[in-house]
Amino acid sequence: MARAKELTPKVLVVGGGPGGYVAAIRAGQLGLETVLVEKAVLGGACLNRGCIPSKALIHAAGSYAQMRDRFEAPHMGLSLSSAPKLDFAETIAWKDGVVAKLNGGVAALLKRAKVQVVTGAAQFTDAKTCQVETGEGPVQISAEAVILATGSTPVELACLPFGGDVLSSTEALALTEVPKHLVVVGGGYIGLELGMAFCKLGAQVTVVEAGPRILPQYDAELTEPVRRSLIRQGIALHLGAKATGRGADGALLILDTDGSEHSLAADKILVTVGRRPVTEGFGLETMGVAMAGPFIAVDSALRTSMRGVYAIGDVTGEPMLAHRASAQGEVAAEIIAGLKRRFEPIAMPAVCFTDPEIVSVGLSPTEAEAQGHPVLVGQFPFAASGRALSMDATEGFVRLTARRDDHRLLGAQAVGAHVSELSATFVTALEMGAVLEDLASMIFAHPTLSEGFHEAALKALGHAIHI
């Protein structure tokens, strides 16, 4: 048996996703000798199997649907004399090219930060030591500080185990052809984003959601425009329905709240009922860290119960968001380097890339009231926005929630075309402690969707201009 190569860095990062690679880069920038262990491909689920490839597919699907619509119904003086053609293999190749470019960029950034990347699965024997079986032989790594960034993986249903025609989002993004009948189990953001994309590409899509409405993490006012869009696109919704298995013909069997059973034709079944943290398979049980339910327990400095061991990203709990993991990665690296930092964000943006998009930062009116805040709410409809009208995308609104007593902003939400780009404005306002008068006195460029932020503040103060 070959003797293991030994490495003794200051920092060992396990997992090369958006939390891990950012932590490693920041540690390297701070002059800490750093080793990053990644068992598969740099970038993690977000870059390779989630955020980036799904948004690329969503963009391609939207472009194709717009072209098809102009063939079927001329609009704005635009028409096509023949139906557009879809070469789905080329679409997937383009999507993969986007991923490959970003993947190569991550590798280059790590190299520039002098981070050593070890490819293979880490197996810990104690809190600070692991062994990695690489293609060149075993490597033993003993570090002064360890950052666990092992991420999450899709949840599997017992009645619909992954395999064959039952897909997780990973397999859905690797399909070589558009399914004729796609059934999506789970009406959260992952299922709806991909379901809408495949519908635009030509699939007949059905969504099955066990709860009473779609996108339960957002309030009903925000999700209603998305529900209407699903219906317009011809996507069938089965709410309050549970998947129970598959029929002999491959169809999905569902049970409605009234006890009736139905069979839904399905070439492919996409299961998107959540994600679970990856806490098994790398020797976590040998590390002596405390757990908080299924997650690794951490404090505001991202420290676990074991001295010198930190954890970041999905493995530490909700919300499971790439930008949360990246921010935690920076904080953990800087704390290890001796800087005074804490992970205590005021604003954590959440975006749903459906059609229309949803963005939410801070508290909704209902959440604010539940916390005991008397609130002012200002809402501006995109139907009154010059920019939205000029884009022929007037559905949706911007909504602000502020405290009634001092007008301090508590939350900002929007639903509409391209509203994901408003997330930075919302975050900045909340993090800087803006009050409604601050927003009302600012000058926003015209014509832009961001003017809705200004107008919503004016509305909350009782003197809206354009509504």
∠ at Cα 349 (334, 366), nearest 5°? 130
> In sequence order, what are the beta bridge partners of 1?
none
The token duo for 58 is 């969503």
> In sequence order, what are the beta bridge partners of 245?
253
The token duo for 45 is 């689920």
Strands 350-352 and 357-362: antiparallel
Strand order through the sheet with 375-381: 350-352, 357-362, 409-416, 397-403, 375-381
Active-site residue (options: 59, 323, 373, 446): 446
The token duo for 306 is 């074991």
The number of residues in the chain equals 467
Contacts 24+ apart (CB under 8 A), 289-296: 289/127, 292/317, 296/148
Residue 181 annotated as catalytic:
no
**What number of other Cβ atoms are within 10 A of residue 398's Cβ?**
30
User: Could you tell me if 414 and 397 are in contact, meaning their C-beta atoms sit under 8 angstroms apart?
Assistant: yes
* Spatial separation of the C-alpha atoms in residues 231 and 68, rounded to whole Å: 18
Known catalytic residues?
446
